[in-house]
Amino acid sequence: MTSARTFVGDPAAIRVEGLTKHYGRRTAVDDLSFTVGAGRVTGFFGPNGAGKTTALKAVVGLARPTAGRALVGGTPVMSLRPDARRLGVYIEPCGAHPGRTGRAHLRSLAALAGLPRRRVGEVLEIVGLAAAAQRRVGTYSMGMRQRLGLAAALLGDPEILVLDEPVNGLDPQGIRWLRTLLRDRAANGGTVLLSSHMLGEAARTVDDVIMIDRGRLVHEGAIRDLERSGGSVVVVRTADAERLSRLVAAAGGRSTHDDDGGLVIEGLDGAEVARLAHRDGVLLEEIGHRTASLEDVFFGLTGGADR
Amino acid sequence: MRQLVRGELIKTVTTRTLLGFAVGGVAFAVLNVLVVTVASGTLDEVAEKEEALAGLPVLLLLWGLVGAAGEYRHRTAAPAALVGRRDRGVVLSARIAAYALTGLLLGTLTTLVSVGLALPLLSDQPGPGLTSGDVGAVVAGNLVAFVLSAVLGAALGALIRSPVLGVVVLLIVNFAVVPLLSDAWESGVNLTPFGAAGVLSRMTHHTTLSVVAAGWVLAAWTVAVTLVAVLVERRRDLA
């Protein structure tokens, strides 16, 4: 059902400018600015308590910013009329009364949104909840509630999806289903902004990355650039490490010694390092690659894994 | 607006809360009729007989309060606000309208039970009987009190946002503060929503406030609190 989307006047589907949100003396989001490109899946990452949910609530208009603003399709969200066809939102928890059936929950939202009743059946099928639709939400597992929340977000077949921790509680099959769903939407021109603190899994779904910590932006860019910057590094063992270091530096790379006595080279790939060593007669005892995980990059950007 | 009210109505009728309040309302109606007609001795005045038909508007106040405050407790207010295609104040107005309609439904049910049970029992009582006009006036007063109480409760629920806190405060005020004050300052208590609802439903009689004036007092409270709730809803964050 998703069709190609265009945003008139602003290539960014979502633009956040200097967003700040205080709760009393506590600053949850601090001068945060970023853009979410139309037709892309953007991951919004940060450790627990980084301010992701607060920022997303401000982006969708549920929370009023203390300063700054969020624009959706070029229009400030606080002056936009809420519309399930433009913006589909899932923010934990799923927002369904435990005593109401899944179908009744979606029926009420469809009526509020002015959507046809048949759409309820369609989204229940999409999220795989059709068989459990007549059960009360209080009897649902966490994964089923997650799917119900996603069904609500998908009701209006929106141009933009904003999803807060959508992977939480999903089983591996569910995670794969969600990844396919989100990639398909992006392929059809839809835009997705999803938050997660599980970088490894979400990184398989996203095109772009926004990382925040303590309410502030720490990184924004394409996931490929992040992977590249984190680095696939070359690790070599040689008796002539000093000479190889000089050769690497002359070729534009950087080298450091690791704890195991190996030479870790960044900025050059394995073939380039091997050619340098061969040309200058440096004997390599061992050469290999080591890929820095995105978690390593993430911890490096947000200040460590031990927090 | 119609689709908003429809969506909110679906919410109010698809949990067991409505059934619980319907059962509670009918049980109270039966109990009130039996207490007034059987256990209160002779009823030889019209006002005493009218009391047998009286409803309990505070039940509808609770209905609106529990339902509307539950929207925030269960975080169902946010999804509604995100899809409503109108500002949050209008969505809340639609929610309050839905509680008014279901309040009318609950009120009609309990009033029918009261009238159906009380009239045969009252026919044995001495003194002037209730005319059809008297019964019609009591029924109308009760229905107005029920609907306004449901609206007032929903508006209070949207302001308080906590069903437990709201219910505790409401019960303390209705069953402790108001009775204590009414002994000392009856005319003042009649100007509170609780006092006015009591006069309107005929639970209270022989007071300085007329039934019509009580209706206006309760309506004024309801409109004022609803306006505040709608204005506040536009400004506050939703969880």
Q: What is the pLDDT along chain A (307 residues), one digit of tens a residue?
A: 444 344 444 568 899 999 999 988 898 889 999 999 888 899 998 888 888 999 999 999 999 999 999 998 888 888 888 888 989 999 877 688 899 999 999 999 999 999 999 999 999 999 989 999 999 999 999 889 999 999 999 999 999 999 998 888 888 888 888 889 999 988 888 899 999 877 767 777 888 889 888 889 988 888 877 766 665 678 899 988 889 999 988 888 878 777 677 888 877 888 888 999 999 889 999 998 776 656 656 665 665 444 4
Quote the CA–CA distance of A161 and A150 in Å, as a whole number. Answer: 9
Contact B79 A152 (CB under 8 A): yes
| Nearest CA-CA distance, residue B73 and chain A, Å | 9
Question: A interface mutation test: which of B74, B76, B83, B90 has the most A CBs within 10 A?
Answer: B83
Output the DSSP codes for chain A.
-------SS-SEEEEEEEEEEEETTEEEEEEEEEEEETT-EEEEE--TTSSHHHHHHHHHTSS--SEEEEEETTEEGGGSPP-TTTEEEE-SS----TTSBHHHHHHHHHHHHT--THHHHHHHHHHT-GGGTTSBGGG--HHHHHHHHHHHHHTT--SEEEEESTTTT--HHHHHHHHHHHHHHHHTT-EEEEEES-HHHHTTT-SEEEEEETTEEEEEEEHHHHHHHH-EEEEEEETTHHHHHHHHHHTT-EEEE-TTS-EEEESS-HHHHHHHHHHTTPPEEEEEEEEPPHHHHHHHHHT-TT-
Q: Locate tokens 């050059």: which residue? A: A268
β-partners of residue A17 are A69
CB pairs under 8 A between A and B: 92
| Residues in chain A closer than 8 A to B102 (CB atoms) | none
Q: What is the ipTM of this complex?
A: 0.84
Q: How far is CA A208 from CA A74, A154, A226, A228, A299, in A?
A: 19, 22, 9, 13, 18
pLDDT at B94: 95
CB A209 within 8 A of CB A219: yes
Taking only residues 67 to 86 of chain B, the set having a beta carbon closer than 8 angstroms to any beta carbon of chain A reads 70, 74-76, 78-86
Quote the CA–CA distance of B193 and B148 in Å, as a whole number. Answer: 10
Whole-prediction pTM: 0.79
| Residues in chain B closer than 8 A to A100 (CB atoms) | 11, 14-15
Question: A interface mutation test: which of B82, B87, B90 has the most A CBs within 10 A?
Answer: B82
Q: How many domains, chain B?
A: 1
Which residues have a Cβ under 8 Å from the Cβ of B118 and sit 6 or more positions away?
Answer: B33, B36, B37, B52, B53
CB A66 within 8 A of CB A16: no
CB B170 within 8 A of CB B61: yes
Among A22-31, B34-43, B59-68, which stretch is predicted with the lowest mean pLDDT?
Answer: B34-43
Contact A99 B83 (CB under 8 A): no
Contact B78 A93 (CB under 8 A): no
Question: All domains of chain A, ordered by start, with CATH?
Answer: 12-221 (3.40.50.300), 232-291 (3.30.70.100)
Cα nearest neighbour of B82 on chain A: A82
Q: What are the pLDDT digits (tens) for B72-101?
A: 988 888 899 898 888 889 999 999 999 999
Neighbouring C-beta atoms of residue A37, cutoff 10 Å: 17
β-partners of residue A221 are A209
Taking only residues 158 to 217 of chain B, the set having a beta carbon closer than 8 angstroms to any beta carbon of chain A reads none
Contact B78 A62 (CB under 8 A): yes
Quote the CA–CA distance of B39 and B48 in Å, as a whole number. Answer: 13
CB A138 within 8 A of CB A99: yes
Q: Locate tokens 């045969």: which residue? A: B120
Strand order in the sheet with A284-291: A254-257, A263-266, A232-238, A284-291
| Residue (of B78, B60, B58) closest to B161 by Cα position | B78
Q: What are the pLDDT digits (tens) for A57-79?
A: 999 999 999 999 999 888 888 88
Instruction: Identify the domain containing residue B189 by its residue range.
Output: 2-235
Q: What is the dihedral of CA A120, A123, A129, A130, to 10 degrees?
A: 50
Q: What are the pLDDT digits (tens) for B116-140?
A: 888 888 887 787 777 888 888 889 9
Contact A82 B81 (CB under 8 A): yes
| Residues in chain A closer than 8 A to B10 (CB atoms) | 104, 107-108, 111
